[in-house]
Structure 1
Amino acid sequence: MDIISGLPDELLVKILLLVPTKVAVSTSILSKRWEYLWMWLPKLDYGPRNCSECEKLRCFLDRNLPLHRAPVLESFRLDLCCSRFKPENINMWIGIAVSHCLRELEMMLYESDPAKPFVLPSNLYACKSLVVGGDILLDVPTMASLPSLNTMKLQSVRYFSDKTLPLLLSKCPLLEDLVVDLREDDTPRYLGVSVPSLQSLSLYIPYNNHIIDGFVLVTPALKYFKLMDYNEHYCLIENMPNLIEAYLDVDCPDIKDLIGSITSVKRLSICSKTMLDEGFVFNQLEHLEVCLCMEHSSNQLFRLLKASSNLKRLDISLMRGHVSQGMADWNQPTTVPECLLSSMQNLNWSSYTGEPQEREIVVYILKHAVHLKTATIKSSSELGVPRSEMLKELEISYRASAACQLMFE
């Protein structure tokens, strides 16, 4: 007998957890000792599979899943990309998983029959974590109850009605982490999220989604908020006094409610086609990241600096997938933002081209940031001016902080 086979079952199962489920199953042919060990795995991951393997996987799950021996399934993942997987098969597999005290379900279903969308079975309500996505119709029974659910991700699913999501959320008294990624079609006209316990919320509303009229958020305990929304509609958002981090990539005509609800945030990443109104105050903001893809970005930047008297770190960049439209003339502030005089310690500029507008902003910050410790400039792959000239202009510029280190990458 080899040394590994002589180890206790509990240890061998932990070893099998380190490899993909398919590989763990294949160890059953090694010897009698290994034949049924994989059936004790508390985590099962099936997929992705190509269509040529669909029938083989269906037969395998029908035959073996009912024999699974783990008393508790910590996670069950199904990534099914073929119409050969029938709803009755999937419902049976999920039911078996739930009977093993399932804690986390992750299910992605694609290429199903549009006329017969898959509906999640009603016996899911014991899960503590739920991730669903793809061609799945979300239809929540009124008697549903998810008392232990703390994480839910809904990725491009279809909704039975406008009331589906609010009803589902009302059944989750302990929900802490929610991701809603809407489709371009089959989305609710009204998006309502009212969850007192929620601590993390991510909303993605795709471009040209003309179905949704707007959304309402009531999440007083929220600590992390991510919103990607490129459409014109209303948004009503109650104050988030406990917010720590916010990521906003938005194209809303009026963002007063949005900005007014996040003024307690400590870290903010923002790209907005709408200019922020003056008068907002971010007293607790310590880390600001501003995207410079808009023509008004420079003036947006200084409005944010003016509103953030305790800012310590400033990142200037292009958000992922964004392309600079070239900054318009910026208006040099008549008064220096308080954060430059009292608190800012770090400046990081990514995709720096050395164009006049960008250079003027960097020079202005270096000239007035009294407590600046580092200024890191990462040059763009497409420089507007020669790199050597760009660096020389910044090196000879005046710095209010004698301790400031100017670094180029």
Structure 2
Amino acid sequence: MPRRIENLEICIPPLSRGIGLKIYSCRTLVVLKLKGYPLGVYVSSHVELPSLKSLHLEKVHFVDFQSFLKLICGCPLLEDLEAGTVSYLDTSFDQEFRFRSLPKLVSVVINDYNFRFPLKIISNAEFLSIEERTFGRVTRVFNRVVLEFPNLVHVVFTSLGSLSWHFVFEILKNCPKLQDFELIFSRDPDSMTLLPYPQFIPECLTSQFRNCTLKNYKGTRCERLFAQDIMQHSTSLRTMKICSRSSLSTEAKHEMLKQLALCPRRSALCELSFI
């Protein structure tokens, strides 16, 4: 490996169970991108990447959960984490293990609804993009309750199937600094089951909340109530952006806009945008 390397992208070859040990102790590495194959990656050594700020994992299949933990915990200055199609052959983990949060983490993008990891690791993030089922699954497996995200200001939440409104509000309740929230509904209306709408409003929505975007909006009762409640309760909302489904007729979109336009807005600065 060249000395003082800062950016490195590795395509892990088929049938490989490891990466050169020197990579795990490269003190100058700032950006690391791993692209793997189905067999798996085994981290057998101690990881010490003191300068790493960006880690991207794509199609990486770790041999065990401990290999993933070794890699993550060896990056104390990590700011950017992106993961897509990440899994483990052995999913067992020590129930007594105390997961540490990454202190410098800024941005987390999870493009894999099967990825399991402890939320504690990413709890310091300022930006989070994740699929609703992934969030629910890792909460049940590792945390049992929704953790607080004290620094989170921007959330992009995607639903690929059934959506629990109560769970969405539980997450928002634990993001005291939230300013921007984007909710992307499933494109397939037959795959979405909206569970009962909760009767409480997260505190963040009534204080510093600034922008809300709803995509693939179909105008269901729960979707409309969600948009209305945010406009009625947020004292600092500036933009409510509704992106409707492209398959909806012009008449249907006009009716949705008319319903939302009649909703009272607590913030005098709030603008309703309907696309």
The TM-score, its normalising length taken from structure 2, stands at: 0.75
SS in 2 for 1:327: coil
SS in 2 for 1:261: helix
Q: For residues 321-352 of structure 1, what are the alpha-carbon distances to aligned partners after superposition, in whole Å with 9 as ceiling and x for unaligned?
A: x756313233322x432112211121111111
Residue in structure 1 matched with residue 83 of structure 2 by the alignment: 203
Return closer, same or farther for 1:279/1:292 CA change in 2, 3 Å cut-off. closer
Long gaps (5+) in structure 1: 1-122, 217-234
Residue in structure 1 matched with residue 151 of structure 2 by the alignment: 284
SS in 2 for 1:132: strand
The answer to whether residue 89 in structure 2 is matched with residue 243 in structure 1 is no
How far 1:394 moved relative to its partner?
0.8
User: Distance in 2 between the 1:337 and 1:400 partners?
Assistant: 15
**Aligned residue type for 1:181:** E
How far 1:215 moved relative to its partner?
7.6
Residue in structure 1 matched with residue 56 of structure 2 by the alignment: 179
The answer to whether residue 120 in structure 2 is matched with residue 268 in structure 1 is no
264-273 or 137-146, which deviates more: 137-146
Residue in structure 2 matched with residue 188 of structure 1 by the alignment: 63
- Give the alignment of 1:301-312 within 5 angstroms: 301-312=168-179
Return closer, same or farther for 1:367/1:159 CA change in 2, 3 Å cut-off. same
SS in 1 for 2:8: strand
SS in 2 for 1:362: helix
User: Distance in 1 between the 2:24 and 2:268 partners?
Assistant: 64
Q: For residues 285-306 of structure 1, what are the alpha-carbon distances to aligned partners after superposition, in whole Å with 9 as ceiling and x for unaligned?
A: 2222222334234222211222
Return closer, same or farther for 1:142/1:242 CA change in 2, 3 Å cut-off. closer
SS in 2 for 1:305: helix
**Aligned residue type for 2:56:** V
How far 1:395 moved relative to its partner?
1.0
Return closer, same or farther for 1:285/1:351 CA change in 2, 3 Å cut-off. same
Return closer, same or farther for 1:214/1:201 CA change in 2, 3 Å cut-off. farther
Question: Alpha carbon RMSD of aligned pairs, Å?
Answer: 3.8
The answer to whether residue 242 in structure 2 is matched with residue 353 in structure 1 is no
- Give the alignment of 1:215-230 within 5 angstroms: none
Residue in structure 2 matched with residue 370 of structure 1 by the alignment: 235
SS in 2 for 1:375: strand
The answer to whether residue 269 in structure 2 is matched with residue 394 in structure 1 is no
How far 1:270 moved relative to its partner?
2.4
SS in 1 for 2:223: helix
Residue in structure 1 matched with residue 7 of structure 2 by the alignment: 129
- Give the alignment of 1:7-406 within 5 angstroms: 124=2, 127-133=5-11, 135=13, 137=16, 138-140=18-20, 146-156=26-36, 162-163=42-43, 166=45, 169-170=47-48, 172-183=49-60, 187-190=62-65, 191=67, 192-193=70-71, 194-195=73-74, 196-206=76-86, 211-213=89-91, 237-249=99-111, 251=113, 257-258=118-119, 260-273=120-133, 274=136, 278=145, 280-318=147-185, 325-333=191-199, 335-383=200-248, 386-406=252-272
SS in 1 for 2:63: coil
Q: For residues 216-274 of structure 1, what are the alpha-carbon distances to aligned partners after superposition, in whole Å with 9 as ceiling and x for unaligned?
A: 9xxxxxxxxxxxxxxxxxx974212332222235556986x32x333332222222322
> 2:40 touches 2:60 (CA, 8 Å); kept in 1?
no
Return closer, same or farther for 1:341/1:161 CA change in 2, 3 Å cut-off. closer
Q: For residues 343-381 of structure 1, what are the alpha-carbon distances to aligned partners after superposition, in whole Å with 9 as ceiling and x for unaligned?
A: 112111111111222112111212211221111111111
User: Distance in 1 between the 2:9 and 2:274 partners?
Assistant: 42
Return closer, same or farther for 1:142/1:243 CA change in 2, 3 Å cut-off. closer
**Aligned residue type for 2:13:** D
**Aligned residue type for 1:188:** V
User: Distance in 2 between the 1:144 and 1:244 partners?
Assistant: 22
**Aligned residue type for 2:110:** L
136-145 or 196-205, which deviates more: 136-145
How far 1:156 moved relative to its partner?
1.5
Which structure's CA Rg is the greater one? 1
**Aligned residue type for 1:261:** I
How far 1:393 moved relative to its partner?
0.9
**Aligned residue type for 2:36:** S
User: Distance in 2 between the 1:140 and 1:205 partners?
Assistant: 22
Structure of greater relative contact order (alpha carbons < 8 Å, 6+ residues apart): 2
Long gaps (5+) in structure 2: none
SS in 1 for 2:89: coil
User: Distance in 1 between the 2:246 and 2:23 partners?
Assistant: 57
How far 1:157 moved relative to its partner?
5.3
Return closer, same or farther for 1:352/1:126 CA change in 2, 3 Å cut-off. same
